[in-house]
Amino acid sequence: MIGLRTLSALPNLIGVLIITFLITRALPGDPAAFFAGAAGSQEAVEQIRAKLGLDKSLVEQFAYYVRDLARGDLGTALSTGRPVLDEILGRLPASLELTLSALMLATAIAIPLGVLAATRPGSWIDHMCRALTTAGVSLPTFFTGLLLAYIFYYRLGWAPAPIGRLDPYATPPATVTGFYLIDAALAGDLDVFIASARQLILPALTMALFVLAPLARMTRAAMLGVLSADFVRTARAYGLSRFTVLYRYAFRNALLPVVTTLGMVFSFLLGSNVLVEKVFAWPGIGSFAIESLMASDYAPIQGFVLTMGALYVLLNLAIDILYRIVDPRVEVSG
């Protein structure tokens, strides 16, 4: 079942591959001229174009790109001189640590808040939930990040400088997973753990506020719909405790739309981390993609989009599996 679901995603990845290739070639700017510099002669520019294969037709360029991709070669990043695959693998843990931290923070706040708002409609908790969700969907992520950095770093001095994953005076932990929090915990280095956690708070909170709104709103709506269902009234009539009715019956039946929204907001996080990483100088694949885009460096942009496409496929598989856990009647192949 899961294998068939994975195979069905291949056409999407092929479409992403083709569209990304064409869009990168349509971008303004010439990478050969960029790396030749302002003082570069036309002859030097042409030599760089020939070395990059940009002097060939689009069909030939695409054929060579697919051939290299089949070998696991995503090309070389001209801005760093390193293979794109190495750059992505080196930066991906930073992006995933930020994204997953934001998702866990948003989930820990949004789901209980949505449940409380649904069980107490019209109360101050319900009004607070509505105000928070309205603010979450109204503020762009880059503005939220700049605002939080201005308040908590510049004005109050509570947060560290937005200069990346770790204070420049701290030593990164030995790489095991690439996640600084986990690696520092495994090494038993409390100082590095606290330092990396402090650097992570503001960017994770920025992204969490962005996805907290739809998650809390869907939880509230799903719970309101289930709480008015006949089987919930029947459970109450049987004298079951409020906790049993609320969490064993109502919340479990409201989980499917919440899980769907969870998958959607995770997709949003993967896209929004590009801006957040730039605001907080976070050395992830999002900031790497922006730097490559400004330099008209094709290979890293294509590698970034393919990586995002693969993550979306894995995310959809995870959502399908969660569906089966929440409700075994749901077919994974559906």
Q: What is the pLDDT of residue 202?
A: 92
Tell me the three-class secondary structure of 3-72, residue by residue: HHHHHHCHHHHHHHHHHHHHHHHHCCCCHHHHHHCCCCCHHHHHHHHHHHCCCCCHHHHHHHHHHHHHCC
Torsion angles phi and psi, residue 76, rounded to 5: -120, 135
Which residue shows structure tokens 């409201």?
254
Q: What is the pLDDT of residue 213?
A: 83
Q: For the chain of 334 residues, list the mean pLDDT of each consecutive stretch of 10.
A: 65 79 72 67 75 76 83 80 87 90 90 86 83 76 86 88 84 88 90 91 89 86 83 79 78 80 80 84 86 79 83 76 66 48
Q: Which of 298, 302, 251 is nearest to 18 (CA)?
A: 302
Amino acid making up residue 254: A
Residue 218, domain member (yes or no): yes
Structure tokens at 168: 């420049």
Q: What is the pLDDT of residue 210?
A: 81
Residue 129, domain member (yes or no): yes
Torsion angles phi and psi, residue 61, rounded to 5: -60, -45
Residue 64, domain member (yes or no): no
Torsion angles phi and psi, residue 246, rounded to 5: -70, -45
Distance CA(334)–CA(323), nearest Å, equals: 11
Residue 222, domain member (yes or no): yes
| Beta bridge partners of residue 273, listed in sequence order | none
Cβ 315 vs Cβ 303: under 8 Å = no
Residue 301, domain member (yes or no): yes
Q: Which of 176, 171, 165 is nearest to 201 (CA)?
A: 165
Q: What is the pLDDT of residue 334?
A: 43
Tell me the three-class secondary structure of 253-286, residue by residue: HCHHHHHHHHHHHHHHHHHHHHHHHHHCCCCCHH
Structure tokens at 100: 């997953």
Q: What is the pLDDT of residue 306?
A: 84
Q: Give the domain range for residue 267.
A: 84-326
Structure tokens at 225: 């719909």
Structure tokens at 206: 């920025």
Residue 79, domain member (yes or no): no
Residue 102, domain member (yes or no): yes
Distance CA(69)–CA(5), nearest Å, equals: 23
Cβ 207 vs Cβ 273: under 8 Å = yes
Residue 38, domain member (yes or no): no
| Beta bridge partners of residue 158, listed in sequence order | none
Distance CA(290)–CA(271), nearest Å, equals: 12
CATH code of residue 151: 1.10.3720.10
Q: What is the pLDDT of residue 36?
A: 66
Q: What is the pLDDT of residue 38?
A: 64
Q: What is the CA radius of gyration of the chain?
A: 24
- What number of other Cβ atoms are within 10 A of residue 235's Cβ? 18
Say how many domains are in the chain: 1
Count H helices, E strands: the chain?
16, 0
